[in-house]
Structure 1
Amino acid sequence: MKLNYLTLAVALGLGLQGCSLIPDFSQPKAPIESAWPQGPAYKAEKDTAATSLLWKDFFRDPKMQRLIGLALDNNRDLRVAALNVQAYRAQYRIQRSELFPSVDANASGSRQRLPADLTTTGKSGIQSQYGLDVGISSYELDVFGRVRSLNSAALETYLATEQAQNSIRIGLIADVAGAYLTWQTDQSLLEVTANTLDSYTKSLGMIESAQSEGTSSALDVRQARTLVDSARAQMILYTRQVAQDANALQLLLGANIPSDLTRGLALNADLLRDIPAGLPSDLLQKRPDIQEAEHRLLAANANIGAARAAFFPSISLTATAGSASSQLGDLLKGGQGSWSFVPQINVPIFNGGRLRANLDYATIQKDIGVAQYEKSIQTAFQEVADGLAAKGTYSEQLQAQSDLVQASQEYFDMAQQRYDEGVDNYLTLLDAQRQLLSSRQKLLSDRLLQLDSQVQLYKALGGGWEPSAPESNLVKN
């Protein structure tokens, strides 16, 4: 079987891969300052070199690490994101296949009886035809780079989807950590409220006894009862919040909270690793959402090349080579060779402005991509700046709140002593009790806000600038 013509057709098709009409890409200038904000809310620190910080190094509570690992294995949103990456990878491979001709082998056979008045001999008979061909069909010669432009766009879309998966992964880690810290804080608030309710109940009992002895008034009893009822309401509130926190955490995990999971480290423990404030602002380029926006911008830029190429003639090629015979046994004998070569050129003449509209649309999509890329950088800068402001102020706020708790405790102790000695009425003690409970609850809430701000700063910096797998390994298969 002679395949000279088929080989020539394939060589011609591969040899005519021509120019690319994709516009030269220049990365838009980041619309942010070259340094982080400065002012009273920010601590002045020297620039620090960016180093890898994995989530297991940042989150130090073993219980929190266990829950994050469980979520990374079972969360359904992350699973969907991973499947989307595989789907877009398959679409890229489909698009890439159009760069090469599809070679097919075809074997056929037919037998047909014809009546006498339809044959050239004037006699009825049976005609047979057998064939064996190898060929290519409708292969577009990418002279002006249309197919390669579409291939580049598919590749960038696939890489953007991969970065989207990384964003979801980092967001999941931060969400699990935040949900766990909220759960722990509400449990602590429930304990504080329960202990306070027990103290209020004992005080109420003592005041009721004093009233029966005539040393306390009915007003004192009612004032004490308001504390008890208020604490009871708060206790029910925190009981509900603890249950809802567990439900929210379980949804993020995608699995049940382990039954053997006990309380983690105390909220005032060293739960999170400190992030230096002097990190360079160009570290934002490592954020997955920014890299995703850049890949989508590159895909839009490649689509402009495909839209431009549509204005030029397209050349497609169909060619086959093989053998044909009226006898099956003679099919592979010499002299039975057959071939066909059908090149086709299509020149756009009039299409009602469709090609121009497609080019305008592709150009507009690129402009949209530039705006989205710049907005992603601005958003990232704002999130990190907010995190640095929180980092620079929460320590002093917590210290001030801790001092308030200490002062409230001393105020309560003095008010209790003066009430027991009959110097002050119960109203002063009532105020001291309320202030002490409120300051304790506020201290726990502020500690949660501080921890959450650290988690959000870790997320804003791209998940601790954890390195991802090289893209070159992802596009070869």
Structure 2
Amino acid sequence: MRRAAGKMMRKPALPLLALVLPAALGACSMAPDYARPEAPVPPAWPVGEAYPVEGEASLPSVSYTELFRDQRLQSLIGQALANNRDLRLAAANLAAARAQVRVTRAAQFPELSVRASADVRDNGGTSGESYALQGGISSFELDLFGRLANATAAQRERALASEASARSVRLSLVASLASAWATYAADRDLLAVAEDSAANARRSVELTRSRLQGGIAPRSDLRQAEQILATAEGDLAAQKAALAEDINLLRLLVGAEIDPALLPSSLAEVLGSVETLPAGTSSTVLLRRPDVAQAEYLLRAANADIGVARARLFPQISLTGLLGFASDALGSLFDSGAFAASAGADASYAIFSGGGRSAGVDVSEANRDAALATYEKAIQSAFREVADALATKGTIADRLSAARMNTEAAADTANLTELRYRGGVDSFLANLVAQRSLYTARRQEVAIQLIAVQNRIELYRVLGGDAELGQSAFTLPE
């Protein structure tokens, strides 16, 4: 009897399997074949007087630890990668995107359900009982035209785009932190310049007051000297505020308190600890930038969405199946006579939808065209950023040399002019102009040194940084 019951359980499932397997194997995709678009930029970087001559054909794979060699900066970057809230937000968004892939993919599989019930009745001497155990498949859609498969593919590409976005956040964090660290060093140098300027202004006030008391200088010279002192002290206060703001920014980027021992003391030591990243000659390295990769993943997702929209133009076929046992006595629930099974199929097709479904295809194709334009613009913007950074790289050495020469000449002029003023040869106005020129020249040299450091950091960012940056934390599993 048990063997006969087993045969009765298997037979109703055979027609269902006969429908499901060929349908699943014969499913097709209505999505267009994807091919990576040609990059709408020149194959090589610009050349000319403003650009450096790159000897390497391609960009080597380097990590930020190879580029930023100062252990203090590396320590801060490590803390930021562990604590920064923007990075945590990106990781949470990626986790949600990964989970959404599983949610979408679940629609491709049948949902199996089990239900058990027991009913015992006693009505004034009339009693009865019934028991049932049922399992089945409710409305399993046969994906004949790839609607569900393309929906899963689109969601997966969006999850990969979220991964690329997280890598962009990580790359931007490293570059922003290095830039803020260098800016702090520059502001310390500017603070030293302001302190020297204020000290010179105080000496000038004392000298002019002595000359006024001796009847050598007019009162207007003293008032001008006092004006210069007030300006210098104002600049000194502003630089102290700038340093405090730099530390606040570093604290925000790191996501924790900053150890003062990890801060640089001068811009010169920062400039010596940041390596220059060679850009190579080929612009194909742009494809490894996370923002470009993100745009391409979204383009691939839009391409898969076309398949989803096209599949909606065709009928939807769903299968249902139910099998189980029902009996008036618990002891006979699994007897062969208590077994029952049923299977069914349902096909639906909208004869008239007011053009809504065909319009859905048009919408998906328009979205794909928009994603294509976004992808191409991302490459063009990346090319422009690299070209700008290379133009700065090719000319920054000359600017630094000119700034140093200017500072040396201004310092010598200020020294000579002050000696001539003390000797009564030059006027106070000439001495004042010389001091102002020296102050401006020193600040300008610091500014250009900062540009040189930030240019190296910017090249790291615009070239995509480390190609493997964040892979262990953000890679989407198959």
For normalisation by structure 2, the TM-score amounts to 0.93
Residue type at the aligned position of 2:313: F
1:147 shift after superposition? 0.7
Query: Could you tell me whether the CA contact under 8 Å between 2:205 and 2:226 is conserved in 1?
Result: yes
| Residue of structure 1 in register with 2:316 after alignment | 314
1:467 shift after superposition? 5.6
1:111 shift after superposition? 3.5
| Residue of structure 2 in register with 1:151 after alignment | 152
Cα distance between partner residues in 2 of 1:418 and 1:97: 87
Output one character per residue of 1:373-407: Cα deviation in whole Å (capped at 9) or x when no partner.
00000000000000000100111101101100000
Cα distance between partner residues in 1 of 2:474 and 2:29: 22
1:220 shift after superposition? 2.2
* Partner secondary structure for residue 341 of structure 2: strand
More displaced stretch, 292-301 vs 64-73: 64-73
User: Which of 449, 458, 476 matches 1:474?
Assistant: 476
1:277 shift after superposition? 4.0
Output one character per residue of 1:18-59: Cα deviation in whole Å (capped at 9) or x when no partner.
111111112111111111111221122323332211111111
* 2:303 is equivalent to residue 296 of structure 1: no
* 2:220 is equivalent to residue 219 of structure 1: yes
Q: Structure 1 263/451 Cα, relative in aligned 2: closer, same or farther at 3 Å?
A: closer
Residue type at the aligned position of 1:82: A
1:267 shift after superposition? 2.9
User: Which of 98, 107, 124 matches 2:116?
Assistant: 107
| Residue of structure 2 in register with 1:353 after alignment | 355
User: Which of 395, 398, 406 matches 2:397?
Assistant: 395
1:171 shift after superposition? 0.8
- Paired residues for 1:96-245 under 5 Å: 96-112=105-121, 125-245=126-246
Q: How many residues align?
A: 468
Output one character per residue of 1:252-282: Cα deviation in whole Å (capped at 9) or x when no partner.
2222222443435543541311122434210
Cα distance between partner residues in 2 of 1:323 and 1:403: 97
More displaced stretch, 425-434 vs 41-50: 41-50
* 2:42 is equivalent to residue 33 of structure 1: yes
Cα distance between partner residues in 2 of 1:354 and 1:369: 22
Q: Structure 1 184/134 Cα, relative in aligned 2: closer, same or farther at 3 Å?
A: same
- Paired residues for 1:453-464 under 5 Å: 453-464=455-466
Output one character per residue of 1:89-141: Cα deviation in whole Å (capped at 9) or x when no partner.
000011112222122222122235679xxxxxxxx844432111222111111
Cα distance between partner residues in 2 of 1:7 and 1:240: 80
Cα distance between partner residues in 1 of 2:98 and 2:373: 26
1:420 shift after superposition? 2.4
Cα distance between partner residues in 1 of 2:212 and 2:457: 52
The percentage of aligned residue pairs carrying the same residue is 37
- Paired residues for 1:443-462 under 5 Å: 443-462=445-464
Cα distance between partner residues in 1 of 2:263 and 2:360: 60
| Residue of structure 1 in register with 2:443 after alignment | 441
1:335 shift after superposition? 2.8
More displaced stretch, 391-400 vs 181-190: 181-190
| Residue of structure 1 in register with 2:327 after alignment | 325
Cα distance between partner residues in 2 of 1:150 and 1:452: 43
Query: Could you tell me whether the CA contact under 8 Å between 1:315 and 1:343 is conserved in 2?
Result: yes
Query: Could you tell me whether the CA contact under 8 Å between 1:60 and 1:270 is conserved in 2?
Result: no
Query: Could you tell me whether the CA contact under 8 Å between 2:421 and 2:428 is conserved in 1?
Result: yes
| Residue of structure 2 in register with 1:15 after alignment | 22
Residue type at the aligned position of 2:411: Q
1:436 shift after superposition? 0.7
* Partner secondary structure for residue 214 of structure 1: coil
Cα distance between partner residues in 2 of 1:88 and 1:203: 66
Cα distance between partner residues in 1 of 2:352 and 2:442: 78
1:286 shift after superposition? 0.4
User: Which of 42, 67, 71 matches 1:62?
Assistant: 71
Q: Structure 1 472/327 Cα, relative in aligned 2: closer, same or farther at 3 Å?
A: farther
1:249 shift after superposition? 2.0
RMSD: 2.1
Residue type at the aligned position of 2:46: P
Residue type at the aligned position of 1:271: S
Output one character per residue of 1:398-417: Cα deviation in whole Å (capped at 9) or x when no partner.
11011000000111121122
More displaced stretch, 351-360 vs 105-114: 105-114
| Residue of structure 1 in register with 2:3 after alignment | none
Cα distance between partner residues in 2 of 1:403 and 1:429: 20
Query: Could you tell me whether the CA contact under 8 Å between 1:415 and 1:429 is conserved in 2?
Result: yes
Query: Could you tell me whether the CA contact under 8 Å between 1:156 and 1:299 is conserved in 2?
Result: yes
Cα distance between partner residues in 1 of 2:189 and 2:424: 35
Query: Could you tell me whether the CA contact under 8 Å between 1:3 and 1:321 is conserved in 2?
Result: no
* Partner secondary structure for residue 131 of structure 1: strand
1:214 shift after superposition? 2.1
Cα distance between partner residues in 2 of 1:449 and 1:372: 30
Q: Structure 1 303/463 Cα, relative in aligned 2: closer, same or farther at 3 Å?
A: same
For normalisation by structure 1, the TM-score amounts to 0.93
Output one character per residue of 1:178-231: Cα deviation in whole Å (capped at 9) or x when no partner.
122112211211121012211221221122122212233322212221221110
More displaced stretch, 214-223 vs 224-233: 214-223
| Residue of structure 2 in register with 1:261 after alignment | 262
Cα distance between partner residues in 2 of 1:27 and 1:366: 13
1:8 shift after superposition? 5.1
* Partner secondary structure for residue 336 of structure 2: coil
More displaced stretch, 82-91 vs 461-470: 461-470
Cα distance between partner residues in 2 of 1:432 and 1:399: 21
In structure 1, runs of 5+ residues without a counterpart are: 116-123
